[in-house]
Copies of this chain bind each other. A is one copy, B any other.
Amino acid sequence: MSVQERKQRERAERERLIVATARELAEQQGWDAVTTRRLAERIEYSQPVLYSHFRGKREIIGAVALQGATELATAVRAATSAADGPRARVAALARAYLDFAARNPAVYDALFQLDGGLAYAQEDTPEPLKDAFAALLETLDEVAGDGVHPGLFTEVFWAALHGLATLSRAGRLLPEDADPRVELLVDRLAIL
C-alpha cells in the first residue's frame, strides 16, 4: 500500500512540475514558446509523459488558468479587505485586478484569452473560476445600485476591467493614463 502511495505522490508532484514549468516558460517567453517538446525537455521527461497527465496542450493551459483564478481571487480579496469604505474597496479591487493581469500576463492569457478547454458561466464551471467571480461580487455587490442585479453589475464591471487589461497589454492603450482610466471607471460605474 505504501508503495502505491509513494507512486501517487510522485505522480502528483510531477504534475505540479509540469504546470509550474509551463507557466514559467509562458511568462518568460510567451505561450507560443510553450511547446510540448520544450516543456518535456525542461521537466526532463519525454514528450509522451505529458499526455499521461493531460489530454493535450489545451488541458495544460487550463491547469495554469485554474491556478491563476485562485490567485486572482486571493489578490482581489486581500486588496479589498485592506481598504476602508465602498469607494476605496472598489478602487482597490480594480487596481488589484489590473495589477494581476499586468504582472501575470501569461496566466491572464490562459484564463481569458486562450482556449484552456474550461467551461464558463455554467453548471460544470470549475470551482476556482466561480470563486474568482464571487470575489468580485463580494465587493461590487454593495455598489451595484438600487434595482440593479449585483451579478449583472459585476459582469459589466468585470468586462470593463477585462477590456482595460487586454487592450493595455496588447498596446492598444497607452500605459500612461492607466490610473485616471481606473478612477473614471470606478467613479462612474459604482453607486456609493
Binary contact track A163-181/B, C-beta < 8 Å → 1, others 0: 1101100111110010011
> In the complex, which residue of chain B has the Cβ closest to the Cβ of A121?
B174
Expressed in whole angstroms, the minimum distance between the Cβ of A181 and any Cβ of chain B is 5
Q: Assuming A181-B156, A184-B156, is B162 touching A121 (CB within 8 A)? A: no
The docked-state distance in angstroms from the alpha carbon of A75 to that of B155 is 26
The number of times this chain is found in the oligomer is 2
Rounded to whole angstroms, the CA-CA distance of A173 and B119 in the bound complex is 11
- Determine chain A's interface SS by DSSP, over half rule: helix
Answer whether residue A161 sits at the interface, using C-beta atoms and an 8 A cutoff: yes
Known: A185-B156, A189-B188. A173 touches B113 (CB 8 A): no
Please pick, from B112, B170, B180, B181, the residue contacting A120 in the complex, using a CB distance under 8 A. Answer: B170
